[in-house]
Structure 1
């Protein structure tokens, strides 16, 4: 049986329905003089299941717009009391039925329409401009009102016909490491022997690549001795090489293991492992460990970890406690230059 939970899927669907209505004004000159605020209305038209009509104001909606033609669109539903969200696009048309860009008004967003809401365009076009344009022909002109109504947003489950499990390559490689099957290289570390696979180890570490597959003397060796590293640290590093993750580590050993693994990762150019250790140590800085951690960061080129230490030491109390710790003497002797940087940072 698969050791993963089946996946599921759902969808959020937001869509809209659009439609348009063309209103032709015949005998334009006779519509003038109706009076400010007076309108002529189109026939009812239906878009997205809702009734609408166009209001044509030949003398403007209010007295300030008396020289303008104003166009509004009103929802004309009597029975459906629900609010809807809609967007308008009002256009003057040329003789080919195409929108005139200079008189093409589009709402910037969807707006709420109650059953009798009217919205539109004040100062749609000056009467003088229309009368002097080619768009008024034989005392006629046309406008088009395009309405887009947003449907209610819906959520529903979708079927997953093929359920692809997550990758388990790391588990297979760990099984290969644990079983030792096909192993063709051994490492002696701290009195323990670890069986591994030359090509896997080399593929993960440029240093091992040079040692195992390059012209170095270890190329033909069946067993390589690793000095300066504890067996448990090498075992954890080998686990990372095969799985790209770390094994379970006891909580009281996490910081110490991270320090040792950072050194090992830097030694074998395992950049991701090094950054993982650096992240762990950044979260674990305290008065007892700050000096040792800062020295470690300086020696192995961990800029992020150094910054975290400097930030911790900006506190006078923290600085006094760290200077009194055993690790500070080690920091002074091993990394004297870092103290100059520390003083410079504190003096800012």
Structure 2
């Protein structure tokens, strides 16, 4: 039996954040009905690349779901949607604020007729801001790009829609908490998450530095503001990273590299203060061997390091470690759910659906 078996989710989510949340819950056993306009979810057209006649973007977040096309602007479509919601445990939506209210499918309207409904609303900037919640936009105005990039004056987005994914995960956690509350009380509730708030929370130490100490961080390339050496270094063939988190690891690194003791680098704080000089010394040593050679030498010593892989190399590494990163679902090779449960493991029941 799956952990969420018997839970029915009416999924009005589109694009990424909400569909990611509902796929996670579907993998855990929930029955998810994906409500789509007859035109289909926008991501069905977001390609290349394509596989199995679909965009891989759509396929990445919609397995284990049933598709149901409904035009909410028609009486028949709206009636069918309402019937679906009244039989569901959870409703998830990420329309612009006010859209569901126009259809009478907002939380306030539904809670009077379905007291046990868990209603999850995902927005870009909160229920009171009718701003478009695109991941790139939130990365920009939310500060993430201001700390990401090769150098000051060159703000750079993260290579995936990370804020959407993090928001989807937060939505899933909120839904699970609300379901637990409903199990005890019989009462549903409204779960709200927005991309901007999630990003500010997810920037953890950078956000805390501002909130607690008034420090506004800037772009540092691949360096860490509080740890050294913690960055990308050149080798004889390709880049690699060192992620040295304490003095013991640093001592082992110095011995392996043949670096003599230096008071400038005696503590982490002093290493951060002299990070440029430290990076120059380490880089000169690392250029003498390949990334694979350094990885083989330093890893057994307990020095965190590794080559900068492309995505293919990352999958190869995961497979070599026995992590099984690929799941075969209906003849498709999809990225596996990373959650491992000993008693109620995730299941892969159906591939992403065709437009019904």
Is the structural similarity TM-score above 0.5? no
Looking at both structures, which has the greater relative contact order when contacts are Cα pairs under 8 Å and sequence separation is at least 6? 2
Structure (1/2) with the larger strand percentage: 1
Q: Over alpha carbons, which structure has the higher Rg?
A: 1
Give TM-score, length-normalised by structure 1.
0.20
Give TM-score, length-normalised by structure 2.
0.19
